[in-house]
Structure 1
């Protein structure tokens, strides 16, 4: 656990002391960079820089009643990533995409450690509704709580818990291998 001011206090201080934002960058960059690396490895550094620019610009709009600073930052990250994917799709019109398909999910299985199960896991994850998949990944990869993940995707915490349970059940029922340890 970090010593000194908590995230919310630091974010509040930035109104009068912009340098108070620096510890937030130091505390959360590694996790947020991991979020981008797993989803858009070639652009992770640029996306992280964009995230910090947007988060700093939007810092006064943070609402502690909606969740932690960490969850808010992942929400900003998700918006930055979505904008990146939309720009990528617009720049590459030759690649056919379904309506609303701005998530280049195919790249994820290239980075899975268990190469033997990657095709089936990819199929199962791709078969999940977008929100369920994002909730599952935010909890499993980014170590957010279900309530924090709910704030990131903009749904009530109870709804997120239900959808997360449904996503885990779908993966477990369709997997010919044990996923129980990886779906915390």
Structure 2
């Protein structure tokens, strides 16, 4: 007997497999992704040609179980990574990285943030990426999808505006 028609098997088992995943994952929206991963794995499987038509359903569920195990392992890693990231953010905030500029008068730092907040969105993003996040102008260009020359000219112009506004505020 020849290999089963995978397309027919997918059509006949899709609803049942979706239910299988929906009963086992949270959020349930992940179930559709897992179903598609199952069908992709089945399609790529080297053992597909040796499956007898009567054995395709258990074979598909075996693949689904493997996909579900991989999903759960990945979710555990993502959760652990998220927990680690949250802990690092809390530690950074406790270390004073919460908007306080070391060595700068807090009132002046607040005034600078206020001036920056009045800039056009693109200029504000360029300034903050360069000075607050520490990116180079070339990196900012890549982040924003702009040409490096555009970022350089806008950064230069924005620095001049900031100098003028700070000087005016000090007078």
Tell me if both proteins adopt one fold, taking TM over 0.5 as the criterion: no
Structure 1 length normalisation: TM-score? 0.38
Which structure has more RCO (C-alpha within 8 Å, separation ≥ 6)?
1
Higher helix share: 2
Larger C-alpha radius of gyration, 1 or 2?
A: 2
